[in-house]
Amino acid sequence: MGDMGDPVEACVVGGGPAGLAAATWLGRYRRATVVLDSQEHRNRWVEAAHGYLGSDPVSPTALLDRARRDLARYESIELRYATATSAQCSVDGLFSIRTADGREIHAQRLVLATGVRDEFPDVENFFDHYGKSVFHCPSCDGFEARNKAVVVFGWSAQVASFSRGLLDWAASVTVVTDDHPFEGESDHRAELQRLGVHVVEDAVDELCGSGGILESVRLRTGGIIPCARAFFSIAHHQRTALAEQLGCELTEEGAIAVDHEGRTSVAGVYAAGDVTPGTQYIQVAAANGAQAGTACALSLRDEPLGRPDDDHDRPEEQPVVGGEQRDGPNLA
Ligand SMILES: Cc1cc2nc3c(=O)[nH]c(=O)nc-3n(C[C@H](O)[C@H](O)[C@H](O)COP(=O)(O)OP(=O)(O)OC[C@H]3O[C@@H](n4cnc5c(N)ncnc54)[C@H](O)[C@@H]3O)c2cc1C
């Protein structure tokens, strides 16, 4: 479906919570859709994600498995494990999306749900602990750090507010700048001092502990900081390569600019999830995806490609008695 000569109505790039939610609603509207996913969803390292309504905690991998199973019942949706390498608008008004396996998809609409790429500290045993006792988002994993000793890796001025946030839960916070000079001004240092946060300008050599249970951080100069959790505040980058190829407007922070229905500045291109501005939660990504998928599906109403059962008799739409007739969800 969707390869040369056989265009689809929509192509969703990204099979995380945002992309699968968009695909679900495209499927419910019976839009012929190809979903491309390179299977690197952001929290694949995590055993338990928190705060998702009705499933708190939940394994993010299990949640996506369930979403893919649910999606399989919509016959107009095809999920392909492939990486989109380029996207452009072709002369016939279709989007042309090339994948790393050499295929090309032609689609009337495009939904970008490509997420972000996190930067990680270069520390021994980091990936033994990441997602178990080492995290980057205090909102997502701070509650589980309550009454525990926490180390923060980071050196920017922002580390001051990051540490203050963690003290909503943590018993203590120690900042380790990983061999960088602390970039904050004197008032940032004063704020950290006021909060009782010690700043250690040293490199981290190793995360100590086994089975993902963090016990301490060993510094290059030999010091040991006992702790049960570590958080890092370094950087992440929205995956916007396809959006940039298409000429979509980005925000100053590097996210894809969208309106409240997920429309980008390029007609026919939608975006949802962490690649767009806003809070980076699974539930928010899924909600954005549902909104963008629905808006995308509705935008195709007057441009049908033709569906297999379109010839079947369909009941005439009846006005809603006692109220205003709507075309679907209120997307105004
Ligand atoms: C350590 C950690 C812990 C977290 N804990 C929580 C938590 O407890 N609760 C919570 O609500 N949130 C949590 N989050 C945040 C949550 O992971 C994100 O908000 C959510 O995954 C965003 O969903 P998304 O669909 O936008 O992006 P992603 O989940 O990152 O999915 C993007 C998908 O797009 C694919 N993709 C990217 N580029 C391409 C391409 N060119 N072609 C094909 N496919 C592509 C990727 O492979 C990936 O599968 C956590 C994040 C991290 C890193």
pLDDT at 284 over 70: yes
- Quick one: pLDDT at residue 4? 56
Closest CA to 217 of 152, 131, 135, 120: 152
- Residues 251-260 have pLDDT tens digits of 999 999 999 9
CA–CA dist 93, 77 (Å, integer): 22
Residues with CB under 6 A from ligand 1: 13-19, 36-43, 45-46, 49-52, 83-84, 113-115, 118, 131, 135-137, 140-141, 239, 273-274, 280-283, 285
pLDDT at 234 over 90: no
pLDDT at 322 over 80: no
pLDDT confidence bin for 330, thresholds 50/70/90: very low
- Quick one: pLDDT at residue 5? 57
Closest CA to 83 of 238, 241, 235, 237: 241
Coil, strand, or helix at residue 286? Answer: helix
CA–CA dist 326, 107 (Å, integer): 27
Q: What is the DSSP annotation of 31-85? A: --EEEE--S--TTTT-S-B---TT-SSB-HHHHHHHHHHHHTT-TTEEEE---EE
- Of 13, 41, 50, 134, the one to substitute when testing ligand 1's pocket (max ligand atoms within 8 A of C-beta) is 41
- Quick one: pLDDT at residue 258? 98
- β-pairing, 33-36 vs 77-80, is parallel
Report CA(137)–ligand 1 centroid distance (Å). 13
Domain 8-117+236-299 CATH (choose: 3.40.50.2300, 3.40.50.2020, 3.40.50.300, 3.50.50.60): 3.50.50.60
126-232 under CATH 3.50.50.60, yes or no: yes
- Quick one: pLDDT at residue 92? 82
- Quick one: pLDDT at residue 332? 31
pLDDT at 309 over 80: no
Report CA(44)–ligand 1 centroid distance (Å). 8
Burial class (CB in 10 A: 0-12, 13-18, 19+), 90: exposed
pLDDT at 113 over 90: yes
- Quick one: pLDDT at residue 148? 98
- Quick one: pLDDT at residue 310? 43
Report CA(16)–ligand 1 centroid distance (Å). 6
- Ligand 1 atom at minimum distance from 52 CA: 11
The whole-chain average pLDDT of the chain stands at: 90
Q: What are phi and psi of 267, to 5 degrees?
A: -55, 130
Report CA(115)–ligand 1 centroid distance (Å). 5
Residue 16: HSE in the Cβ half-sphere, 13 Å Cα cutoff? 27
Q: Strands, E, within 146-192: which ranges?
A: 149-153, 172-176
- Quick one: pLDDT at residue 1? 67
Kindly state the DSSP code that residue 318 receives in the 8-state scheme: P
Closest CA to 61 of 46, 75, 81: 46
Q: Please give the C-alpha separations between residue 55 and each of 52, 60, 63, 169, in angstroms, as whole numbers.
A: 5, 10, 9, 22
- Ligand 1 atom at minimum distance from 45 CA: 1
CA-based radius of gyration for the chain: 23
- Quick one: pLDDT at residue 313? 37
Range(s) within the chain of domains with CATH label 3.50.50.60: 8-117+236-299, 126-232
Please give the structure tokens belonging to residue 220: 């290059």
CA–CA dist 217, 8 (Å, integer): 52
Query: Are 297 and 31 in contact, with CB atoms under 8 Å apart?
Result: yes
- Quick one: pLDDT at residue 303? 83
Please give the structure tokens belonging to residue 63: 């949640």
pLDDT at 136 over 70: yes
- Residues 21-68 have pLDDT tens digits of 999 999 999 999 999 999 999 999 999 999 999 999 999 999 999 999
DSSP run (H or E) holding 27: helix 17-28
- Quick one: pLDDT at residue 90? 81
- Residues 167-190 have pLDDT tens digits of 999 999 999 998 899 999 999 999
pLDDT at 308 over 80: no
Q: Which of 15-19, 84-88, 155-159 has the lowest mean pLDDT?
A: 155-159
